[in-house]
Amino acid sequence: MVSSPTLRGEPPVLGRRALFAGLAALAGCVPAAPPERPEPAPAKLGALGDALAAAGCEWLVLLEPERIQQTAWLRPLLGRILRDERLDLFAATTGVDLRVVPELVLASYLPRSDAGPESDGAASLTLCRHRGDVRSIERLFRDRLTRHESRSVPAEGVVVVSGDVGRKPQAFVAIGSDVVGFQSGGSRTHGPARVAALYALGSLASVPTVLAEQELGALLRALGPAPLRALLPGPFEGELGHGARGLFAAATAVGAAITPTEHQTLRCDVRLRGDYAPSPERAATLLSLAWKDLAASDLGHLCGVHEPLRPPVAEAGPEGPVLTVELDARTLFDGLAAATVDNVREIMR
């Protein structure tokens, strides 16, 4: 039998099959390209307290300025202390309008022993959730720096800027598009602003935040959703231990909250957590006496604490004594203005 002719250069059928099989086997030996790694999600912070370290924290204040401003009857009273022209100046200087800030936290930190020679001792940090342009806010901060300016971007959406204003260290942190922080004093390289950035990056997942501490977290929940809450972590030693008729000595945490009421008054709640089991009723009595001490002071008279709209009620709570009192808002703000703003205005004259 005569085989059919093949085209010049074309391998026989069996040769082509062998060639394809060889190429397929060779392809199986080539390692597949590694799968593409997903890009990390831009940093975003949940609660502002999730960026605050517990170590060294002296006190913190949690505010909801926008919610307070939305209380119509309270706005003119707030104007006695926070005048619009001052808020306008603050917004122009920092890029943050406090009247539309939904969440703000102020925290004070003790000096760090490992901060180094560039530290300025104690530090304060203001973290806020804003509605401004984060690039403009950063630029305005950098414009105020006079020396030692440094900027880093450790991850998408996280920016840390530090430097001095005069001789005082300052730092700025931006987390995502809606959270910024301003640090005053302390260390430029190890201060609470840089710590906040590390929390946002997840680098300090094993280090408890201030509100993750059992005592402060439980106290914050007990104070409820007030638009102004202040917390002091214990233990309280030395002179602080003598506070509130000696109640601070046994306290693990102290907190207070102020809430506007439908009667256009301000309800103040004070709570202490600690071991008061030996005599909880006596602890409640001492807290009531401590409030009377405040009411009898010059500041207490000035702010109308000595004439509450409803008398203070002190009770022995399961975790410590609790005191509730209702104050006249106008008298309170007039007194605070007289003690601060009006005095400064008089001095400047």
Taking only the tens place, the pLDDT of each residue in 15-39 is 555 555 554 554 455 555 555 555 5
Task: Let me know if 73 is exposed, middle or buried by CB neighbors in 10 A (0-12, 13-18, 19+).
Answer: exposed
End-to-end CA distance of the chain: 123
pLDDT for residue 344: 43
In this structure, are residues 63 and 104 in contact, taking their beta carbons and an 8 Å threshold? yes
Q: Are 338 and 345 in contact (CB under 8 A)?
A: no
- Is the distance from CB of 267 to CB of 258 less than 8 angstroms? yes
Q: Are 40 and 156 in contact (CB under 8 A)?
A: yes
Measuring CA to CA, how many Å separate 32 from each of 20, 24, 26, 38?
A: 19, 14, 12, 18
Whole-structure pTM value: 0.82
| Tokens describing residue 90 | 């603050």
Instruction: Mean pLDDT check: name the lowest of 26-30, 227-231, 243-247, 275-279.
Output: 26-30
Indicate if the pLDDT at residue 277 is higher than 80. yes
pLDDT at residue 347, rounded to an integer:
38
Residues 6 or more apart from 104 whose CB is under 8 A from it?
48, 62, 63, 64, 65, 98, 126, 127, 128, 129
pLDDT reported for residue 116:
62
* Across 69-82, average pLDDT: 90
Q: Which residues contact 128 (CB under 8 A, 6 or more apart)?
A: 48, 96, 101, 103, 104, 105, 179, 180, 181
- Does the pLDDT value for residue 293 go beyond 70? yes
- pLDDT at position 16 is 55
Q: Is 65 helix (H, G, I), strand (E, B) or coil?
A: helix
| Cα–Cα nearest to 162, from 176, 174, 175, 179 | 174
Helical H segments across the chain, by residue range: 13-29, 65-69, 75-78, 84-94, 134-144, 192-201, 214-223, 280-296, 298-302, 329-339, 341-348
Backbone torsions φ then ψ of 259, nearest 5 degrees: -130, 125
**CA pair distance 82, 218, nearest whole angstrom:** 31
pLDDT in tens, 152-206: 999 999 999 999 999 899 999 999 999 999 999 999 888 999 999 999 999 998 9
